[in-house]
Structure 1
Amino acid sequence: MSDGVSIWATGNWQGLAVAAGAGLLIGLERERRKRARGDSAGLRSYTVAALIGALTAGEPVLLGVGALLVAGLALLAQWKNSGPDPGNTSELALFATFLIGVQAMHQLALAAACAVALALLLALRKPLHRLAHQGLSEAQLHDALLLAAGALIALPLIPAEPQAWLGGIRLRPMASLVLLILSLQVAGQLALQWLGPQAGLRLSGLLSGFVSSTATIAALGSRVRQQGPGAAEANPNLSLLAQAAGLSTVATWAQAALILATLAPAELGRLSPVLAAGAATALLLLAALSRLGVAVAPTRAAPVALAKGSALRWREAVSVAVFLLLVSGLVSWAQAHLGAGGVRAGAALGGLADAHAPVAALAALRSAGGLSAELLGQGILLALASNSLTRTVTAALAGGVGFAGRVAAVLWPSWAVAALAYSVT
């Protein structure tokens, strides 16, 4: 006996129960497939495999014998299974169930989580196959692999410590924001593809707002004018486009919360009611405007076309990251040389171009200890106010007065409610 984790030495009946439950859960799913595929292993086989793993855990000799036994049975089942495409999922699942039983004697929570994940993976066979063959294009799969490589390989290599040459700003959270932007680009494309032009456009507007609400409003406004001069107000898709633009403003409030959670998590609890008030007001206004018929009649045509090829717009994401660093440097310099007034002015000026950059800069400075909590809240509200002005003007230039009016009817009341919420906290 080596480490005393076996059931014989410790009486770890809870681990044994988790192992049995894991085997039953996975076995139930495999039992449903047993008749269709002709597998020899079903509910009882998977449960016994998990129990063998639990009973032999901590006993090297018995563990080796049990592993060889289960692996041998899995290979035998694979050999006996006939058909043009027999596969080996069930055999691998049987051996994985044995390993889960072993793990149950060490870490109950991990074993239970693995059992649920494996059972879910097996149960979602058809949806996953449909996703692989029909739901994702080759370009989208390539995008997903690039994002995974960035998150698992590149991101850990970026320094996590505050950088003195950037005024104490940490680069890894900034890189995480870039990955978030790229992920939302892919999610927006998939939303249009899977949900269709109406629901997909609304969700795409929301997700694109996490990247840039201003750019989203400009793009949607340009679609309002596609019918030609003077036809903007007659556009039957105006209501839908305005709703998508309004949802991009909701994303701005949510993005501010995500930035705080990433760069200054200690401040999120204090400012989350303010940000939630802004987002909730925007959502309520969008719902009210739609119900009261302020928007034009329902749409009759699809206003968007599905983009082909890669959804990753690297230039846009990197540009956002560079702008974040530039605005961070501006606000840091203003704090050092001009005091609180300089920070407010820097936040307002930065917000004219992008709302996320000054929020990120203020949060990074607050996390580094170079900014007071009061100045953080004031700066965020100033940045969002100046950016609301930019978005209103952009909506008017891109989509006309009617489109801008609908956007402004969401932007400014939501900001006013957030400012009121901040004043009473």
Structure 2
Amino acid sequence: MRHDSVREADPAVADALEGEIERQRSTLQLIAAENHVSEAVLDAQSSVLTNKYAEGYPGARYYGGCEHADEVEQLAIDRAKELYGAEHVNVQPHSGTQANQAVYYAMLEPGDKILSLDLEHGGHLSHGHPANFAGQLYEVEQYEVDPETGYLDYEGLHAHAEEYQPDVIVAGYSAYPREVEWERIRAAADAADALMVADMAHITGLVAGGAHPSPVGIADFVTGSTHKTIRAGRGGMVMCDEEYADDLDTAVFPGGQGGPLMHNIAGKAVGFHEALQPEFEEYAEQTVANAKAMGEHLQEHGFELVSGGTDNHLVLVDLRPSHPDTSGGDAEEALEEAGLVLNGNTVPGETRSPFDPSGIRVGTPAITTRGFGEDESRTVAHLIARVVDAVAEGTEDEVVPDVRETVENLCAEHPIYE
């Protein structure tokens, strides 16, 4: 993969791009929100559609010359409808956060009530954190996971909803390793006469591939990112019933965005096409199987997992029981040096700063795309354990170079972007 034209025009940027390609080739991406898109998606996202303004929607644009932009956006819409069985899809949001913003803008007034999962328990900033627009514009209360089991406390959520009477209940999470029981959250929303928003940003691909139950048809709105487990163009999308379609579309444009990023929408269309192929179901199932294998092997090495395991693409490790003096930030730094790129993460009952939390989050979407199976995932878990143990023992200088060599060998056996 070369950037000859960039090198001729701007060597500094070319150096950075080529450095990033090499970084991805030679390290293992274990951040649960990341993946490796196909070269077809990369091509679509770098296409001449980056030149085109297409404010509005297919067949109703505010600019001329949109016939091909219309074709591409309609393909993305139709393919998303087929993937998820949705009545209405808007593929213009620039990100998952802006997808959530559009729903709030369509259905809420400033000061209306949101009930969502606490960030430390696996929620997301755009679900109502005080630092985010959602927490500043709306009144927000938050529910939690059960402190004993690490599972969502559905009964507590139901009682909280009846007492708080929110206008919206948000489901869907950034660091929750278990299958979400959408119907139980729907019941809580119905009891409070609230709308239900399912943010499936992380599990868009798992739902498309049948590896996780779908919230479509259960939630009033389903939002998501299009570049995580689904491996499509970077951005967001919203799905809803036809009764909300006009309000939603108006909230996206002109309510919250101007011209859509048509090159990204082209990447979404290509990625959705890939997800409609039979082999994508195998990918989704393997992503979950790899996470389960990784989690079980980490447990064998003495690590404690939030909720005791995983049903999806990520494992959330609480370092406090096994490595009480090692923070997630310390572990992240040493692991990255070893070529294992993941993130420190808050855990339920967090006692440290969010900038240096008590856990690490490990995801399998990208390594599954590289062709890893359960055996390789267990090897990765073993390498993670070696590095974290070394951090606790102060022996990183001895262990990290050896682990780095093993990682490079694994990368060479499973190459990307040749």
**TM tier relative to shorter chain:** under 0.3
TM-score computed with the length of structure 1 as normaliser: 0.23
Q: Which has the higher strand share?
A: 2
Q: Which structure: larger Rg? A: 1
**TM-score of the superposition, structure 2-length normalised?**
0.23
Higher relative contact order (CA 8 A, sep 6+): 2
